[in-house]
Structure 1
Amino acid sequence: MSLLVASALALAGLSSFREWTATKMLTDPIVRERLASVPTRTEPADVEKLMVRMRDGVELSTQVFLPKGQGPWPVIVVRDPYSFSHYLSCKVFVRYGYGCVYQEVRGRGPSQGTWYPFIDERKDGLDLLAWVLKQPWQNGRIALQGGSYVGAVQWAVAGDLPPEVKTFVPTVAHGDVYELAYRNGMFNEGIAGVWLHSQGRSLLGTVTAGSKWAKNVAGKFPAQGVDAGEFPLGWAAYQDWIRHPDKDDAYWQSPEYVALREAHRKVQVPVMMIGYANDFFLPGMLRTYEELPTRDKSVLIVGPGNHGGQADPEVQGSYTQDYADTLAWFDHHLRGEPLPERLRPGVNVFVHGANTWRHAERWPAPKAPLLLNLDQLAGAQPCDGGSLSDDTPAAGQTVSYVYDPRHPVPTRGGAFVLLSDSVEAQRNDLCEREDVLSFASASFDAETLLDGPIRIRLRVSSDAPDTSFTVKLSEHFADGRVYNIRDDISSLSMRNGAQHRVAYVPGEPVEVTFDLTPILWQMKKGSRLRLDVSSSSAPAFFPHPNRSGLWSEVADPVVARQVLLGGTVELPVK
């Protein structure tokens, strides 16, 4: 059962039954399974529930969890928009000798005010910390903890922490909200759209929100024309996000967004960051870790799995040490206990295909890539029909296909659909489509480790004034299985890291560079690489309408003829 479903079922019904059920379904398994090797230390006292006043007079629902016995205690602070994270945090850590303060953010749950994603989290978070430091039950050693939005609220205050905050542990989170919404100019509706659509629903309603979004919102032209009733709480943000695709737009440069995006540059305490290889937040997390002033005292863990940490059955191995690692990190920074060797500063990364871990002081590390060229373009429309080779390709090759936004290529695997399977068997049905070009390398004669970022360059043109292109790199095993490794997308108007839309002249050949998220992936002896090239991946990304201007206003998308003139794949191999 997924965490979302379990949470919804646990929190439905009467409050007393809800509390008992949620504890049994969410909290107890963490203590019993994730922390099986760590004996509990304390029993929890009764929870104090109160409203804490913010600087503008708005009061936010707050709960205080303390162990039984004589304090004061080291305290963990958790701020949450979802009304259930205390079952995954405070109700756990209080059993290990920590006080824990849980607050529902502005406009969520019983908290007063209006919720707009991320905007109020810095000032409200700092106000809560100021309140905590006035309480007699805290001992002046504070930490922050939580994942996803509950991790982003930590980054919101990270640049202005009082000295009593000794560390924080954000999971699957960074501070750049634009990157939650867009990827190279393409709206990531499989993340941002479905997430905003689910906000404000009952928890049981959240379980069915994904199917409603797919039916009533995803891929509907014009995007601005969907029913506001589909977004009980996220409508205002959804409308703003789909109207502002340019990263340097004034909307994304508001003081609140800039402060959140830049806060990590002012961090003065050690940080333990937990991410997952197929989480959409990972690229920003890698950049954030690299830019931390305290990187030499911090650790980044990159396990297998998606945004929720669920590993795929196709990938042997999982990361189940998250709570044990978090507790050991808190014990060190809040209690002075020795830090386990596994948590020494640096990056711990899971190796897909080998079910092992690697530690590095810096990751990914620069290396000279293996360069493969796209060749035999004319044969690329059956699966594996084109080739990836280190030979120099013949000049003058082209191949074309027709892209229809009303019939996009289905998303299969990858990091860009919320809590979906991230590594999936690709089969041959997608690469047999007429709007997909497919290239294959020769078989590798030994196990080969992909270690870092993969760069793909395509030389393309289109008869549309703007459009998009996609790439997907997979391992094609000797036994016929095909598993996706990485994928990406870019519009032409925001190609190659553009901060705002630039004009494209139809028919003009241009180069589009895709910098795929770094990964450690060990390919098997006898495997080949497959590269699929197309123009859509739905519902991960809203299909490009093949028109210039603001994509979300387009009511009448048109088909486009796409031309591929060549390209390269740069592999990070030793």
Structure 2
Amino acid sequence: MRTMHHWVLLITLCLTSGAYSHADDYVVEKDIMVPMRDGIRLATDVYRPAQDGKPVDEALPVILSRLPYNKNGQVTAAKYFAANGYVFVAQDTRGRYKSEGVWHMLSDDGPDGVDCAAWIGKQPWSNGKIGMIGTSYYGGTQHSMALAGAPELTTVIPVDAMSNMGRQSLRNAGAFELRFWNWIFLNAGRGSRASHDPGTVEVLKEMADQRFAYLENFPTRRGQTPLRLAPEYEDWLLTAMESGPDDEFWSAVNIVEDPEKYKDIPVYLVSGWYDSWGGNNTANFMALSKTIKGPVFMIMGPWIHGQQAAYAHGDVTFGKEAAIADQWAWRKEWYDRWLKGIDNSVGKSGLFKTPVRIFVMGTGDGTKDEKGRLKHGGYWRSENDWPLARTEYTDFYLQPDGNLSTAKSEEEKAVTQFQFDPKNPVPTIGGNISSGNDILLQGARNQKGGPHVWNFKAPIPISARNDVLVFQSEPLEEDLEVTGEIEVKLFASSSAVDTDFTAKLIDVYPSSTDWPAGFDLNIGDGIVRGRFRESLKKEVLMNPGETYEFTIRLYPTSNVFKKGHRIRVDISSSNYPRFDVNPNTGEPLNRHRRTEVATQTIFHDASHPSRIILPVIPTTPAK
């Protein structure tokens, strides 16, 4: 029990040092400097349940958040969990905000997480059980700690979490996702070591404000921009943009290749069909569910990054049922089961009825809502596996006349050519985006330009561009559900020694009263860089004019293409600024000085069956 002397000391600390503050139901101790194994200290806040302003004298399970975005932003979550019988610990990761050391992208978060967990386990307010919480980067710190095998780690809920960075979502089939260029330009002056100097902050803010100008002067080069004032950020970014192979540089959170390293604990993987990490979320489920006992659960909604409480984004609404309104209660349910041993809904009902919970998009009526958004709709469904066991993988072939059909072309030789000019790339209009912050549009969008698209302001459909090849089906005679992983097998050649090929899957709405021109809804997209056509592990330049088979992995989805709609596939060579633009010169990545216009040849004949492989679900069980 606490002595009177202890409470006098606590009150004295509150009044003199500012280390403690309290409300009726929690007490927080701020900025505890927790030492790591190398002596670097990380700033840590501890929120404890309280009664009458005094911390509960009981060893409790802990919810841990390790993040680079300022631990002070965790107050809402901390108060909720402290009020529900948990200690909440928030920690600035190495080199960020009040923590000491030098920031590195996730590579320190395994050992730092282990040391943090060991410290927590020794505290009198901890019962030795830790559950982690967090989205995006600090979803990645959860994976890091699980891969490092922290003994105290009991469960994780990684939401839209960073992982497998050399595979997809950061370095994507050899191309670089420029949202992370954007992230570095914005965060080099926020919470970094460089941000401690007011003069440097001003320079870095000016740099961040001029991102469009820097985009127009690619590639970003070492030492030639104000980014040099934040050297660890410049070094990571330029090394990342120069490192194409999925090698040691990208190994910090590689779950797909190292699932056996993941601690055998209950894991709840959360992401969305329009999230930047959606493809890696399903990949992680497939890898972990076969490797650890877990249990491993997964939910995929129609969401963009970090927006599980929302039901609309971009130009589209999916209906209010698409949202998980209370963002803390569902997490608490999971933690209560695994940290407190409470027999609840986990494995029985709701979000946790079965290992897989998916939102099947596309069953709305297609009219406009009160805000002018397409009512694409959808519904929730519980599944036992991913991919679904009843999937029928169906080839839809790119036909010479621009059709998309399940019938294979019988022509002996059929090609379509276009020119790809790196100085005039195809603009990004929505998709699997995070850290877009002004330069990128997120989510579900009508594939049409306008003033909202900074690099495609004319109000014309993207299909009108000469460098976009459109292949679309006849209007469907019945609804067709596509749920699962999607690939395009593309036979192509180029006049360049290196180039990119892109693919986009689109749900084409017919003309209607609300949408006289129809609505071209992006469902998923992907890319492949020519020099990585054989393997993500090594670069092999192309022979100009030689025909190769390219595999383009799109992001996973679940969508009903309704009767009367068309299934469309767009083929091109750029999607900017979602991906960096290939200069077509074959120079080392991000070190080119020239660009070349490439002539691209797409084959779609009997010997070169270019196609998209759709995971068709033949029957839909009751909701």
Q: TM-score, normalised by structure 1?
A: 0.85
**Partners of 1:487 and 1:400 in 2: how far apart?**
21
Matched ranges for 1:337-486 at <5 A: 337-340=342-345, 341-342=349-350, 343-354=352-363, 355-365=378-388, 367-377=391-401, 386-393=402-409, 394-416=411-433, 418-419=435-436, 420-427=441-448, 428-479=460-511, 480-486=518-524
1:217 CA displacement = 3.0
Q: 1:554 to 1:140 in 2, by over 3 A?
A: same
- The amino acid across from 2:235 in the alignment is A
2:10 is aligned to none
Q: Deviations over 1:129-188 (max 9, x none)?
A: 111111111123321111111111111121344544321111111432324431111111
1:331 CA displacement = 1.1
2:47 is aligned to 65
1:503 CA displacement = 2.4
**Partners of 2:138 and 2:381 in 1: how far apart?**
28
In terms of fraction of residues, the more helix-rich structure is 1
1:217–1:226 contact (8 Å) kept in structure 2:
no
**Partners of 1:348 and 1:333 in 2: how far apart?**
19
Aligned with residue 539 of structure 1, among 570, 577, 588: 577
Q: Deviations over 1:43-78 (max 9, x none)?
A: 122434311111111111111100103322221111
Query: Which structure 1 residue ranges, 5 or more long, are not aligned?
Result: 1-40, 378-385
Matched ranges for 1:550-569 at <5 A: 550-566=588-604, 567-569=610-612
Please state whether the residue corresponding to 1:522 is helix, strand or coil. strand
Q: Deviations over 1:507-540 (max 9, x none)?
A: 0111112222221101121000121111111111
Q: 1:373 to 1:257 in 2, by over 3 A?
A: closer
Q: 1:274 to 1:160 in 2, by over 3 A?
A: same
Matched ranges for 1:275-286 at <5 A: 275-286=271-282
1:251 CA displacement = 3.3
Please state whether the residue corresponding to 2:122 is helix, strand or coil. coil
Q: 1:464 to 1:361 in 2, by over 3 A?
A: same
1:497 CA displacement = 4.3
Please state whether the residue corresponding to 1:415 is helix, strand or coil. coil
- The amino acid across from 2:214 in the alignment is V
Query: Which structure 2 residue ranges, 5 or more long, are not aligned?
Result: 1-22, 192-200, 364-377, 449-459, 512-517, 605-609, 619-623
2:491–2:550 contact (8 Å) kept in structure 1:
yes
- Bigger Rg over Cα: 2
Q: Deviations over 1:363-416 (max 9, x none)?
A: 112533222221134xxxxxxxx1112233233121211111011010011114
Q: Is it true that 1:138 corresponds to 2:147 in the alignment?
A: no
**Partners of 1:227 and 1:350 in 2: how far apart?**
46
1:350 CA displacement = 0.9
Q: Deviations over 1:458-516 (max 9, x none)?
A: 21111111111111110111231110111111111112543211121000111112222
- The amino acid across from 2:550 in the alignment is V
1:543 CA displacement = 0.6
**Partners of 1:348 and 1:119 in 2: how far apart?**
31
**Partners of 2:474 and 2:158 in 1: how far apart?**
41
**Partners of 1:291 and 1:303 in 2: how far apart?**
20
Please state whether the residue corresponding to 1:240 is helix, strand or coil. helix
2:215 is aligned to 218
Q: 1:491 to 1:210 in 2, by over 3 A?
A: farther
1:334 CA displacement = 1.6
**Partners of 1:265 and 1:345 in 2: how far apart?**
25
Q: 1:87 to 1:205 in 2, by over 3 A?
A: farther
**Partners of 2:501 and 2:96 in 1: how far apart?**
38
**Partners of 2:63 and 2:488 in 1: how far apart?**
43
1:3 is aligned to none
Q: 1:89 to 1:186 in 2, by over 3 A?
A: same
1:165 is aligned to 153
**Partners of 2:260 and 2:78 in 1: how far apart?**
25
Please state whether the residue corresponding to 2:335 is helix, strand or coil. helix
1:92 CA displacement = 2.8
- The amino acid across from 1:221 in the alignment is F
Give the root-mean-square deviation of aligned CA atoms.
2.7
1:450–1:522 contact (8 Å) kept in structure 2:
yes
- The amino acid across from 2:218 in the alignment is F
Please state whether the residue corresponding to 2:129 is helix, strand or coil. strand
2:81 is aligned to 93
Please state whether the residue corresponding to 1:223 is helix, strand or coil. coil
Please state whether the residue corresponding to 1:128 is helix, strand or coil. helix
- The amino acid across from 1:239 in the alignment is L
1:103 is aligned to 91
Which range moved further: 55-64 or 296-305? Answer: 296-305
1:224–1:242 contact (8 Å) kept in structure 2:
no
1:305 CA displacement = 1.4
Q: 1:332 to 1:126 in 2, by over 3 A?
A: same
2:340 is aligned to 335
Q: 1:258 to 1:303 in 2, by over 3 A?
A: closer
**Partners of 2:591 and 2:482 in 1: how far apart?**
41
- The amino acid across from 2:111 in the alignment is K
1:88 CA displacement = 4.9
Q: 1:46 to 1:157 in 2, by over 3 A?
A: closer
The count of aligned residue pairs is 523
Please state whether the residue corresponding to 1:132 is helix, strand or coil. helix
Q: 1:208 to 1:524 in 2, by over 3 A?
A: farther
Which range moved further: 311-320 or 509-518? Answer: 311-320
- The amino acid across from 2:245 in the alignment is D
**Partners of 1:123 and 1:172 in 2: how far apart?**
22
Q: 1:454 to 1:259 in 2, by over 3 A?
A: closer
2:613 is aligned to 570
**Partners of 2:132 and 2:408 in 1: how far apart?**
54
1:298 CA displacement = 2.3
Please state whether the residue corresponding to 1:65 is helix, strand or coil. strand
1:299–1:344 contact (8 Å) kept in structure 2:
no
**Partners of 2:302 and 2:24 in 1: how far apart?**
32
Q: 1:521 to 1:226 in 2, by over 3 A?
A: farther
Please state whether the residue corresponding to 1:553 is helix, strand or coil. coil
